[in-house]
Structure 1
Amino acid sequence: MYLPRAFAEADLASLDALVARDNFATVITVRDEVPTISHLPVLYRRDGDRIEIRGHWARPNPQAKHPGPATLIFHGPHAYVSPSWYTDKEEQARVPTWNYAVAHLRGQLQTFEDTEFLAAVVSDLSVKHEASVGRDWRFEPERADHLSQLRGIVGFRFIADGTVMKWKLSQNHPEANRVAVAAELAAQPRQASREIAALMQARETARD
């Protein structure tokens, strides 16, 4: 990932917040120089610098046969930035850009097919997301029909050994531009634009 120094983010608490916002990951593996890509809900856990991610594929997914090196991407909010919002737009001949937050994690995938691991992943994912939609479906391991469904999936555990995060929030602009852009984004109808504004405003508060 192209990462100018101004946009590099090192605080893993920012990663925690990014995944808490949206725990849907892009999983990339490469076999015979050909990338395979999956998009999956995952379970995230961090203990200090140790990051562990669990999830599962449908068994026919070819990536289920790809233990070993992998990259996971978590996409945060993103928003268009109009050059008309900059206070120095004329003298600096400003151009459009895009602000966003994203994290790339490199590491190793381990695959699992045992019932205990698969049941835990399905159960934990359902507990996490059923509450978010006001429902209460639960995986019931005592039910044969629930257990039989596990034959259709392969689980994984990903242990990160490198994390690169890019928080592109107009840090390369003077304060007047940053404040103006954040204010304009906060007034936009898109939720993601308002989320970027909140990230920018939090950075400005931290600077003070």
Structure 2
Amino acid sequence: MALYTPRHFAGSDLREAIALIQAYGFATLVTAGHGEPQVTHLPLLWAAGGDHGVLEGHMARANPHWQRFADGHTLAIFHGPHAYVSPSWYVQPELQVPTWNYATVHATGTVEVIDDRDAKLDLVDRSAAVYEAGSACPWTRGVDGERLEALLRNIVAFRMPISRLDAKFKMSQNKTAADRAGVIARLEASGDTVQREVGRWMAAHE
């Protein structure tokens, strides 16, 4: 599952790719296998291990996607900040066309289902802790007993050692310094927080 990446936009720094996964952990998970591809949108955690790390997550047992994990490779797509770029922001707008700046990471691997009950619960608790970390009043699990066991039975936890990691940071690196400066200025002056974030990514990717 190759990602088209012109050399200007190739992300070669593993740390940057991991940082995007951790900052934008809500992924699109795709398993091709046989027949119609299975697609699920869900949060994933990155953990150290192997050459590129390991992704961990869980989904509803009623979701048929997990039954296809054994069919072949699975792809996790992480979308970072993205924004429209107007030709009017360049030095010579009459020579330009609209485009879109964005950052994305594709992680590929073979998924392993986690059957161990305690390992499954540990993953669920760690996932909640990660996303509750910024809360002024973080939630902690109070569910226990048969209610907890029923919830655990109704989910499938999994881990995916990453065998291939592709990062693409399309941030106008193929434009002149003056054009880049114009785009960054317009994005950073925007009232939209995502556009301002793209401006900061552009400044970091000369």
For residue 77 of structure 1, what is the amino acid of its counterpart? Answer: P
Q: Which amino acid aligns with 1:72?
A: A
Compared CA separation, residues 48 and 31, structure 1 to 2 (3 A): closer
Aligned to 2:26: 24
Shift of 1:183: 0.8
Letter in 1 for 2:79: H
**CA distance in structure 1 between the partners assigned to 2:63 and 2:140 by the alignment:** 25
* Aligned counterpart for 1:116 among listed residues 118, 141, 144: 118
What is the CA-CA distance between 1:118 and the residue it aligns to?
Answer: 1.1
Counterpart residue identity of residue 172, structure 2: S
* Pairing partner for 2:181 from 170, 179, 182: 179
Give the match for residue 104 of structure 1: 106
Question: How is 1:130-149 mapped onto 2 (pairs within 5 angstroms)?
Answer: 130-139=132-141, 143-149=145-151
8 Å CA contact 2:21, 2:105 repeated in 1? no
Identity %: 38
Question: Paired residue for 2:80, among 76, 79, 95?
Answer: 76
Q: CA deviation at 1:4?
A: 1.1
In structure 2, distance between residues paired with 1:136 and 1:82: 41
**Are the equivalent residues in 1 in contact too, given 2:74–2:108 (CA < 8 A)?**
yes
> Could you tell me how far 1:140 is from its partner in structure 2?
5.5
Q: Which amino acid aligns with 1:71?
A: L
Q: Distance in 2 between matches of 1:78 and 1:20?
A: 16
- Give 1:43-58 correspondences, 5 Å limit: 43-47=45-49, 49-58=51-60
Q: What is the alpha-carbon distance in structure 2 between the residues aligned to residue 163 and residue 179 of structure 1?
A: 30
CA contact (8 A) 1:87 1:176 kept: yes
3-state SS of 2:84 partner: strand
User: How far is 1:88 from its partner?
Assistant: 2.5
C-alpha distance in 2, partners of 1:30/1:48?
A: 24
Describe the SS at the equivalent of 2:139: coil
* Equivalent residue letter for 2:109: G
The offset of 1:172, in angstroms, is 0.7
- What CA distance in whole angstroms lies between the structure 2 residues aligned with 1:162 and 1:103? 10
Q: Establish whether residue 10 from structure 1 lines up as the match of residue 33 from structure 2.
A: no
Change (3 A) 1:54 1:48: closer
Inter-CA distance 137–147: structure 2 relative to 1 (3 Å threshold)? farther
**CA–CA separation in structure 2 for the residues paired with 1:155 and 1:187:** 43
CA–CA distance in structure 1, aligned partners of residues 150 and 142 of structure 2: 11
Structure 2: how far apart are the matches of 1:27 and 1:84?
36
Q: How many Å apart are 1:67 and its aligned residue? A: 2.3
CA distance in 2, matches of 1:5, 1:101: 14
Give the number of equivalent residue pairs.
202
1: distance between equivalents of 2:50 and 2:113? 24
Ranges in structure 2 where 5+ consecutive residues have no aligned partner = none
More strand by share: 1
